[in-house]
Structure 1
Amino acid sequence: MTFSLKALVLFLTLVPWFSLSQESISYADSFEVKSTVLNESRRYSVYLPPSYHNEGDKRYPVIFVLDGDRSRLLSISGVVEALSTSTLARQIDEFIIVAIPNTYRDRDLTPTATDLIFKGKELAKVNGSGGADQFIGFIKKELLPRIDKTFRTNGQNTLVGMSFGGLFAAHTLVTQPELFNNYLILDATYVWDNNYLNRMLRQSTYDFSTAKIKVYLALANNDHIGEHGEVNRKWGNDFITQLQSKSSENFMIYSQYFPKERHGTIEMLGWYNGFLKLFGSHG
């Protein structure tokens, strides 16, 4: 573990204590929007950086977090706040963070209507799958404009997703790349629909080399779950290779493999390394 990462862990252990010692501090505010695109009400939470209320003219980039439950919002905002504080040499800028919790995860984060199948064997039943494009529509037409209207944003948006969230983020990158300026994709479900992501990327006619987009992708070691874990990493590497073949001074690709991390343990390291690669001065 590097010195910076050790310092980050120490900082994060102090954040809950600090928050509890000052009862007037609210870590994030919760909102609700009645979505006409999804035909349902959706909640989201917003974390504002420490300087937001003190610097009235400053505008901020925004991070959108999929699977945005309370624990994930607390964790990811802690990482961002730590890296953007002088305590850790202010390695990245401050961010507004928007966490989008799930109401119907299997529907919203999957791009095609199918179960999770590998070599003809059903790994998991995924009822109601295939709603990713509609969920993209909600983010594009309703959530993004609402955030821009309500808060002082600067037009720089980042999408963060892991597992099915990574599948959704990668699908968005392939089908509507300019919706976000940056993508942080952690151990996505590359085995979805028999290599769907690689298939769609090969078919894409979009000129990625002209897009001012940064992408960070991380893969975990899931060999312990058998062949489909190994294949998921292989297809993930294939996806990364395809993206790298399209890279340019505008379209920048960063990738990492964490051989000591599994699917359930990769997020903290992925956020830390990903934010430094995407936003750090030495990325």
Structure 2
Amino acid sequence: MTCLKRFLSVPFIVFTLILSPYVEANHSTDRVEYCKDCANGVIKFHFFSEILESRQKIDIYLPKDYDLGANNVRYPVIYTLDGWTLSELVGGVVRHLSQTASMPEAIVVSIDQNYVKGITPQLYSSDSGWAENPKEKAFWSDDNGADHYLSFLKDELIPFINERYRTNHFKTLVSMSPTASFAMHSLISQPELFNAHFMFAATDVIGMGYTPEKTLIDSLVETLNKRPKHEGFLYVASSMREAKKHPAQHKNIEALTDALKTFKNFKVKAEHIENYGHYPMAVTGLLSALDLVFPRAKFDSSTILNHMRENPENGTVTQQLMQHYKVLSDYVGFEVRPYSNLTRNANSLRSVTRMLRKEGRFDEAIELGKLWVKQQPKSAYAHYKLSESYIAAGSYKAAKKQNSIGLDIAKANKDPNMAHYINQKVNIEKLLSAPAQAKNNE
């Protein structure tokens, strides 16, 4: 129902009750269509592009508990081409890593474009190894297909996503094989549009060129020479099986890494992946690419909160936490927040507030609980747990107020845990009515 409400606000929507994952439109000019599968935070719909004069299939993967978040809790967006093979991979891996305290939560927007070669720039074989003659055509779209598709992303889809979801400025573009040429073209022609570019099955693609005499690597260097302090991330990889058959791919990796060494703010990783073919290499490649942007040495926070709890001489858990996430935010260039409520994971506000209560550190538990409520004000459970901390501290009036807020949210959402919130309310009333306790709470 939340998904339906979100789309009801979009003009020119056609709702059609059929069983296909994507709903067919009644009018060719409708911008957005009703999504059937909104389960588990995955939204599927067709987006009509006036620039392309065609419909693009879109899958959106929202972070867990996205709808509980405050308006100022915003997320980076990972735009993924080749949705037919990368949608579930990217959406699933990003969700898994973010729900296991290994990377910041992100929104994944996956596009299953209609005609893959229709979005490639016009490229010659050059040093790609595709042909002995560098003048032979490689990818070759008609009518400036790459620039039209770039306009579709920049002027239509990205503004649409920014308007309807809580996004921040950080954007990543994921591509594979032919669409990697488009991603490289995007980086060369509009380097400010995306902060990171992941290109799978692409160590041959970077050796192609707009002219037979130059490669895309050469063109990228020309772009960066005009922006020597440009900040960004570039990941390029292919299957080692393919590279062994085409030695030019090894030379392209060397050429890329050597050419970009001088650009200190532009982080690059290029590699060949063992034991996987053309498409499966994307699984390992995605993990490696995400590690380039969110290094596990910095972002794997699976034990960080317990470490903070065990070292109170460094400040309260909240103080230590805010400093830690400020460092991460400064590193990546957008605000990274603590995880509010992870399943079976100690690195979440829920888990540590519970442990602080057990240790009798009630003031810290309340401080951390307030942070959780601030991040997820629409979570009845967050209010319930903060109320629990107030009860443990003997602050029954504050507990009653917090419980009341949670109950109102739970009633509005028909929360299945309503009985727990009601039982807590009854317990608080008993505590307040006890003469000795009531006196202490005056």
TM-score norm. by structure 2 comes to 0.51
Task: Find the counterpart in structure 1 of residue 233 from structure 2.
Answer: 214
Show CA shifts across 1:143-179 (max 9, x none): 1100000111011111111211222212211221110
How many angstroms does 1:224 deviate by? 7.1
Within the candidate set 112, 118, 123, 1:107 is matched to: 118
Tell me: CA distance 1:221–1:129, structure 2 relative to 1, closer, same or farther (3 Å).
farther
Matched, 1:272 2:272: no
Q: What letter is aligned with 1:62? A: V
Within the candidate set 223, 227, 230, 1:204 is matched to: 223
Q: What letter is aligned with 1:96? A: I
**Secondary structure in structure 2 of the residue aligned to 1:37:** coil
Q: In proportion to residue count, which structure has more helix?
A: 2
How many angstroms does 1:123 deviate by? 9.1
Matched, 1:137 2:147: no
Show CA shifts across 1:84-130 (max 9, x none): 113xxx1101110000112111111x111669961249798866485
* Alignment coverage as a number of residue pairs: 252
Q: In proportion to residue count, which structure has more strand?
A: 1
Task: Find the counterpart in structure 1 of residue 131 from structure 2.
Answer: 118
**Secondary structure in structure 1 of the residue aligned to 2:197:** strand
Task: Find the counterpart in structure 1 of residue 316 from structure 2.
Answer: none
**Structure 1 contact 48–96 (Cα < 8 Å) conserved:** yes
2: CA distance, partners of 1:281 / 1:94:
14
Matched, 1:82 2:96: yes
2: CA distance, partners of 1:268 / 1:148:
28
**Secondary structure in structure 2 of the residue aligned to 1:38:** coil
Tell me: CA distance 1:272–1:56, structure 2 relative to 1, closer, same or farther (3 Å).
same
**Structure 1 contact 209–251 (Cα < 8 Å) conserved:** no
How many angstroms does 1:132 deviate by? 1.1
Tell me: CA distance 1:236–1:170, structure 2 relative to 1, closer, same or farther (3 Å).
farther
Task: Find the counterpart in structure 2 of residue 184 from structure 1.
Answer: 198
**Structure 1 contact 84–94 (Cα < 8 Å) conserved:** yes
Task: Find the counterpart in structure 2 of residue 242 from structure 1.
Answer: 259
Report the identity percentage: 27
How many angstroms does 1:40 deviate by? 2.1
**Structure 2 contact 146–182 (Cα < 8 Å) conserved:** yes
How many angstroms does 1:238 deviate by? 1.5
Task: Find the counterpart in structure 2 of residue 263 from structure 1.
Answer: 278
Show CA shifts across 1:41-93 (max 9, x none): 22311111112012133211100001112x5211211111111113xxx1101
2: CA distance, partners of 1:199 / 1:93:
33
1: CA distance, partners of 2:170 / 2:123:
32
Q: What letter is aligned with 1:111? A: P
Task: Find the counterpart in structure 1 of residue 58 from structure 2.
Answer: 44
Q: What letter is aligned with 2:75? A: Y
Tell me: CA distance 1:25–1:60, structure 2 relative to 1, closer, same or farther (3 Å).
same
Tell me: CA distance 1:136–1:51, structure 2 relative to 1, closer, same or farther (3 Å).
same
1: CA distance, partners of 2:98 / 2:139:
41
Task: Find the counterpart in structure 1 of residue 183 from structure 2.
Answer: 169
Matched, 1:253 2:272: no
1: CA distance, partners of 2:141 / 2:158:
28
Within the candidate set 51, 54, 74, 1:59 is matched to: 74
2: CA distance, partners of 1:277 / 1:99:
21
Q: What letter is aligned with 1:276? A: D
2: CA distance, partners of 1:143 / 1:24:
19
How many angstroms does 1:134 deviate by? 1.4
1: CA distance, partners of 2:253 / 2:144:
20
Show CA shifts across 1:195-245 (max 9, x none): 64124224436434322212222232244774xx22134224312322233
* Higher alpha-carbon deviation: 127-136 or 263-272: 127-136
How many angstroms does 1:260 deviate by? 3.5
Q: Which runs of 5+ in 2 are unaligned?
A: 1-36, 299-442
Q: Which runs of 5+ in 1 are unaligned?
A: 1-22
Which protein has the larger Cα radius of gyration, Structure 1 or Structure 2? 2
RMSD (Å) for aligned C-alpha atoms: 2.9
